[in-house]
Amino acid sequence: MTESANRALLPAGLRDMLPPDAEFEASVVHSLMSLFARHGYDRVKPPLIEFEESLLDGAGGGTSSQTFRVMDPMSQKMMGLRADMTPQVDRIAATRLGAQPRPLRLSYAGQVLRVKGSQLRPERQFGQAGIELIGSDAATADAEVLVMTAEALIDQGVPGVSADLALPTLVPAVFAAYSIVGETAERLRAALDHKDSAMVAALGGAAAPLLQALIAAAGPAGRALAELRALDLPPAAAAERERLGRVVELAAADLPSLTLTVDPVENRGFEYHTGLSFTLFARNIGAELGRGGRYQGGGEPATGATLFMDSVLAALPGPKPAKRLFVPAGTPRAWAQAFRAQGWVTVSGLDPAADPLVEARRQGCRHRLGSDGIVDVELG
């Protein structure tokens, strides 16, 4: 392997983002954050790395296995590189913004690093952008977060946005009502995750018919709600069902174009969530665009959503080519400034003796400034 190839080699799951993709990601993030700001969400910027004990406290404990750890040479304390930004925003809300009026609306964007990628997302470093609504337990808060993140994707041009709603606390409520605990609960949980109705029948005992009905209820929101309402659920599970119905009603009214489905037994990826949660998808890719839901943040109710920028970018049409204009060396600076004010990207020549046409092609400019104005350039 050559020295150049050695220098370009990166660890698995990491990559250099090159032009024009890096600029495209930055522009999409800026657009998302601007939309969040217009809805009253104030941006915060937590550090990339912080003490392990605070990073992994509370909801952050769910990211422990995905967190890189290093020793801080100054304090001699363990530090962690964030694998998710939500726990950091939760920490900020509970401490530095603890005296601010509730509900508190915060937004954020930044890079995260994880120990391992997944089959659907092999990248270990990727961008996140999201919102957190802290201090309200209302169904309207759940609906606001769901609708706003979905609407943000639609506004960016993502085709066929849909949301799959989950109730990660519903199955535990059923388990508690039927005294399902220990190894049986673990095996039953695994069977439900794989939608294995036969295994549920073998392990579920008296709860099996109800659990099988929950599996069968998955599908479009209208049908799923009708089937769930026909079930005799324990009180805690029934309360979650009623909240789901209210959120579906609100979301359908605010954003009728959003396709809603429900999976009552889905739990994977929602381990720290304490109520209604959701996953966002697009019609043109299989990867998740984002996740969100209700959790207990710093001793107060909260809900939020995180968009995964690598998936969001993959779902969007590619960046439009910039209008690049080659400006020969010696051109008055004011001329180039005037073209930039008109929306051109100007690339200035450095060698007065160089052929402007050759230089324009070499610099990837489809236009050059000639003596009679702007001249089109054919790129090979």
Local structure of residue 44 (DSSP, 8 states) = -
pLDDT at 368: 97
**CA 164, CA 170: separation in Å to the nearest integer?**
15
Query: How much is the average pLDDT of 65-87?
Result: 95
CA distance readout (Å), 70 to 67, 79, 115, 183: 10, 5, 13, 35
pLDDT at 2 over 70: no
Q: Identify whether 368 is part of a domain.
A: yes
Say which range, 139-143, 230-234, 316-320, has the weakest mean pLDDT.
Answer: 316-320
pLDDT at 1: 56
φ, ψ for residue 230, nearest 5 deg: -85, -5
DSSP string, 88-150: HHHHHHHTTTTTSPSSEEEEEEEEEE-SS--SS---SEEEEEEEEEES---HHHHHHHHHHHH
Residue 166 in contact with residue 278, Cβ under 8 Å?
yes
Question: In the chain, what percentage of residues exceed pLDDT 90?
Answer: 88
pLDDT at 272: 76
Question: In the chain, what percentage of residues exceed pLDDT 70?
Answer: 98
Same domain, 179 and 150: no
pLDDT at 379 over 90: no
**CA 190, CA 12: separation in Å to the nearest integer?**
29
Q: Identify whether 285 is part of a domain.
A: yes
The whole model's pTM is what? 0.93
Query: How much is the average pLDDT of 9-29?
Result: 95
**Could you read off the pLDDT of 278-337 as tens digits, one per residue?**
999 999 998 999 999 999 888 899 999 999 999 999 999 989 889 999 999 999 999 999
pLDDT class for 178, splitting at 50, 70, 90?
very high
| Residue 350, helix vs strand vs coil | coil
Same domain, 152 and 224: no
Give the tokens for residue 41: 């969400």
pLDDT at 40: 98
| Residue 8, helix vs strand vs coil | helix
pLDDT at 375: 95
Q: Identify whether 164 is part of a domain.
A: no
Query: How much is the average pLDDT of 5-16?
Result: 89
pLDDT at 338: 97
- What strands, in cross-sheet order, belong to the sheet with 78-81? 49-51, 78-81, 68-71
Same domain, 15 and 125: yes
Same domain, 184 and 250: yes
What pairs with residue 345 in β-bridges? 324
Amino acid at 341: A
pLDDT at 119: 79
**CA 60, CA 48: separation in Å to the nearest integer?**
14
Q: Identify whether 79 is part of a domain.
A: yes
Same domain, 151 and 179: no
Boundaries of domain holding 355: 324-376
Beta carbons within 10 angstroms of residue 276's beta carbon: 27
Same domain, 12 and 142: yes
Q: Total structural domains in the chain?
A: 3
pLDDT at 132: 98
pLDDT at 184 over 80: yes
pLDDT at 223: 97
Q: Identify whether 217 is part of a domain.
A: yes
